[in-house]
Structure formats: structure tokens, C-alpha cells
Amino acid sequence: MRAMTASPELFASLTDDVVASGSDTVPVATPSTGETLHELPRSSAGDVHDAVARARLAQLAWARAGFAERRRVLLRAHDLVLERRELLLDLIQLESGKTRGQAFEEVFGAASLTRYNALAARRVLRGRRRRSGVPVVLTTRVRYRPRGVAGVITPWNYALSLAAMDVVPALAAGCAVVQKADDQGALSILALRRAFIDAGVPEALWAVVTGEGSEVGEALTDVADYICFTGSTATGRRIGEKAGRRLVGASLELGGKNPLIVLDDVDPEQAATDAAYACFAAMGQLCVSIERIYVHRAVARAFTRALIDRLEQAKLGSSLDYGSDFGSLASAAQLARVEAHLGDALALGATVLTGGRPRTDVGPWFFQPTVLIGVTPSMHVYAEETFGAIASLYIVDSEEEAILAANASEYGLNAAVFTGSTRRGQRVANALEAGNVNINEGYRGSYSSFAAPMGGMKQSGVGRRNGPEGLLRFVEPVTISAMTGVLQLPRTGREFGALEQPLLLLAWVLRGIRRR
Ligand code: NAD
């Protein structure tokens, strides 16, 4: 095994950056052994208010600095993230228990989306002329004003890359960020932040607070100028209500119960290999992970056999190298959640095709990737998000049946279709009710396309991150109209009377030549 670059001294120096005035700490465990990795300081509601006040001041200068300066700093941050990848990979693995491959996806993704936002911000957010209400008499421009301080609340599962998806566009748009990190994942976020600070982002512009969601998260929701939340649908609903009461904007990236359709024209071996990754990368603890597989009867036997083989041959582990295929569940709570869904399903008649047991021989919270058949609506696992290690397999007789079943969910985050025909894939994709649809990949196509919006329909969320849409969240459009002085708008009855016919003529001409 390679030498670890992370150390207790490094953990302490990183956690010094948490805005926490008290001396309270909480132990954070590493999933590979279940032992305490480090002690994380806890912030209070007062710390949130202090961080927001300082961020407000820092934001004024950052907004004035302009697009070119922000681009320079963010591109430098991109370089530092890649240069420091070994440390970031170690921290992600130590905190989450995922494999090096999935940690690499996080780091590489964070760098890529930093590059995208650095380079796209000016193009998306620079002021523009728009057609004015009365040509010649008026000119109209739209400028985009940064909202101020964005409150970013992130979960534990993809701590680094999910943080970057909200923090980086906020910075690129000229906002400041106060981020409430989950305890698990805070080290990775702090190390990522350090790269940005070293690249030139002012310290107060991106503050990190930690602590209970019910205290620290709520305090942030009460004062931020815009809220980016990633987490469960239940918490997202609560945050959306609070933001609504305050009339501030919010983007809510929530849960999913993501379907995969396997059509009758696939290569079953390849489809099974891709399905295994789509379901069990990060042990299924990713919002876009596949939890429902609808396989066409014509290929069901070959696909299922290949899927079982693939999962049973896969190497479980969390060593700090590329030697493992699948990692650990992230915590004892996650293990309990998986076991509860499995126990309920088995009690109500589901059958385990493969897996279905803890792997304490590898580590305390490891679980063998599990595929169930015979899942029915009475079971929790049927419609509720498990968020770990279990996929349910259903056999269908047609494309239409698969689409109907895939769409029969309160969620609409991610969906996938595997097929031998791209045309057919596009047709099915158009019929699926999800904010992200992938053809011949489980989720990585859309998840890695940082120039395109990512987010959910139905109970999976409100708003989109990534792409121009992700940047536009952080600005208020301001429309500025100015009289040219060439003519005046009518003010008296006589002036209206004189202008009525010319204006009507203008309207018909513009409509005739299809001018907006
Ligand atoms: P969670 O809702 O319990 O917690 C998420 C974050 O919100 C944590 O930092 C938590 O401390 C904080 N929080 C909790 N209560 C709060 C409150 N009242 N006010 C403010 N903040 C509060 O979610 P989780 O269990 O940590 O994460 C798993 C969930 O996140 C899954 O449902 C998963 O699908 C979802 N998720 C969605 C996306 C996406 O992009 N759509 C990405 C990753 C995870």
C-alpha cells in the first residue's frame, strides 16, 4: 500500500479553519475500521452569523474584482486541486470508505467543474442589451447582480464534488459562500477550500461551519441570501418552506429512486458490468445511483447471470490504491438502514439473487452488493430510497411496460436505458420522467457533463446545478431601461391619440417580419 499523505497534524490544521468559537468537538470515524479518524470542532448559530457578516464584507470586493480576476483565481484553484489530488483522494477515502476510483471521480469532477465555471461565467453572466419596449425611444440592458452570501448545505456522501458544484459557481458569479458541511466529509471540503484559498480566494469569502443541521443548518437558512441544499427530500422540503417564508431563492437537490431499463437488444455481459457500477459504485450511496432495474424478458436470464457473476467476483475494500472495485457503507447508520430495508423485504417475500449479508471480514460497515427479486409495493425497498447496497430487479415484457414502471415513482432524479440502438435509446430517454437521463451508462454521462444542468423533477428537487443554469442561480437579473432622448413616450391624451396608428402599424410590421 502507498504511504498515506494525510496525518493527524494535517487533520488538526485543516479543522482549525472551521468557524467555531467554542471548544466542543465531535469524533468522526473512518469507515475502513470504524475507529475515530479525528475530532471535528462544532460551530454554533452565533458562529454562522459571524461567518455570514464577514462573508458579506468580503463579497463586496470579490464582486468588484470582475470576471477576469475571478477566472484567474479559479483556474489557479483548478491547477492546485489536480496537483494536490493524492491528498484529496486519501481524505475522501478515509472519510467515506469509497474506493480510490470513486474518489478520483470526485476530485477530477471538482477540477473539471471549476474549469467550466471559471471559463463560462463571463459568457453566461455579462450584461446584455435586450430589445426595448419602444425602439429608438428606449434602450434596455440586463445586468446580473450577485445575490450576496450563498448558504451551501451539503451531505456526507459525495462531500467534495457536491460542495464544488454549488460553491464554485457561486464564487464565479461573484458571491460569497458560507458552507455547512456534514461532519463526515468536512476534512475533504476543508482541504478543497484550502486549495482555493491558496489560489487567491479570500479566507472570509468561503467559510465552513459544522454542527447539527437543526441548529447550524437552520441558522444558515435563516440568514443566507440564497440557499443551496443537497440532501434528503424531508430536509429539503423544510428548507424550501423556510426559504419561501423569507422570499429568498433556493435550489434543492434531493433524493431519488432511480430506474434502469435494460432492453432486449443489449449485450447482456456488457449491460451487467455497467449495471453493477451504476448500482453499487460508492455502495449505492449516491443520489443518482440506480436502485430499480427493469430488464426485458428476452435477455433477463443472461443479464442476471452476468450481473451475479460480476458482483460476486468484485473485490471489496477501501485501501488507498486502485485495488478495490467497491467500497464500504459510510457509517453504522447506513448499515442499519440497508439491513432494515433488506429485512423488511425478506419478511414480505422478496428473494436475494446475490449478496444480502454484511462483510465484516473486510470492515465493520461493508455489505455485499445485493440484488433482490420478487419486490412488491408493500415493501419499503419498492418505492423508498434505500441509498445503499440494494437494487431490485424486475422482468418486463416490453419497452412500454418498462417506461411506465420507471416513471411510476414520486422521484425523478436520474434514469438510464441500456440498448443496442442509440435511436431507440433516445426515444426511451424522451419518455422518461427524470432531470437526468443516461443512455448506455448508469449516471456518469450526465453527472460528469458540467456544462449541462443537473437536478431532479417531482420530489427529487427544485432548480438545477451545473451549466449556465447552475451559474444563474447566484445572480439577480436587473433590467435597466433608459430613455434615448430622441423622442418622448406619450403622456397626454393628445399625444396618445397621435401615436396610436403609428404604433399599431409598427406592431403589425414587426409581427409580419417575425421580429420579437
Ligand atoms: P440530510 O437531509 O439528512 O442532511 C443533509 C445536510 O443537511 C447535512 O449537512 C445536515 O446536517 C443538514 N441538515 C439536516 N437538517 C437540517 C435542517 N433542519 N436545516 C438545515 N440543514 C439541515 O441528508 P443525508 O442523509 O446527509 O444525505 C443523503 C440524502 O441526500 C439522500 O436522500 C440523497 O439522495 C440526497 N442527495 C441528493 C443529491 C442530489 O444532487 N440530488 C446528492 C447527494 C445526496
Name the residue ranges covered by the structural domains of the chain.
Answer: 8-254+467-475, 258-450, 490-516
Grid cell of 19 as nine digits: 468557524
Nearest-CA residue for atom 26 of ligand 1 = 155
pLDDT at residue 199, as a whole number: 98
d(CA 439, CA 428): 9
253 tagged catalytic? yes
The 10s digit of each residue's pLDDT in 51-80 is: 999 999 999 999 999 999 999 999 999 999
d(CA 236, CA 244): 12
Would the CB of 254 count as within 6 Å of ligand 1?
yes
Q: What fold characterizes domain 258-450? A: Aldehyde Dehydrogenase; Chain A, domain 2 (3.40.309)
The 10s digit of each residue's pLDDT in 324-376 is: 999 999 999 999 999 999 999 999 999 999 999 999 999 999 999 999 999 99
Is residue 2's pLDDT more than 50? no
Q: What angle do CA 445, 447, 449 make, to 5 degrees?
A: 70
The 10s digit of each residue's pLDDT in 260-293 is: 999 999 999 999 999 999 999 999 999 999 999 9
- The whole-model pTM stands at 0.96
**Distance set, CA 213 to CA 234, 276, 304, 466 (Å):** 13, 33, 41, 25
pLDDT at residue 6, as a whole number: 85
Q: Quote the ligand 1 centre to 372 CA distance (angstroms).
A: 26
pLDDT at residue 5, as a whole number: 72
Q: Which residue of 232, 238, 466 sits with most ligand 1 atoms within 8 Å of its CB, as the best mutation to test the pocket?
A: 232
Q: Residue 371 CB: number of other CB atoms within 10 A? A: 23
Show Cβ contacts of residue 424 under 8 Å, excluding neighbours closer than 6 positions: 263, 265, 399
CATH topology match: 8-254+467-475 vs 258-450: no
DSSP string, 337-364: HHHHHHHHHHHTT-EEEE--SB-TTT-T
Residue range 8-254+467-475, CATH number:
3.40.605.10
The 10s digit of each residue's pLDDT in 206-263 is: 999 999 999 999 999 999 999 999 999 999 999 999 999 999 999 999 999 999 999 9
pLDDT at residue 3, as a whole number: 45
- What value does the mean pLDDT of the chain take? 97
The 10s digit of each residue's pLDDT in 97-153 is: 999 999 999 999 999 999 999 999 999 999 999 999 888 899 999 999 999 999 999
According to DSSP H, which parts of 352-477 are helical?
380-383, 399-407, 422-431, 444-447, 467-472
Catalytic pick among 105, 106, 253, 339: 253
Nearest-CA residue for atom 16 of ligand 1 = 213
pLDDT at residue 161, as a whole number: 97
Instruction: Report the percent of the chain where pLDDT is more than 70.
Output: 99
pLDDT at residue 246, as a whole number: 98
pLDDT at residue 515, as a whole number: 81
Band (479; pLDDT cuts 50, 70, 90) = very high
Run of H or E including 418: strand 414-418
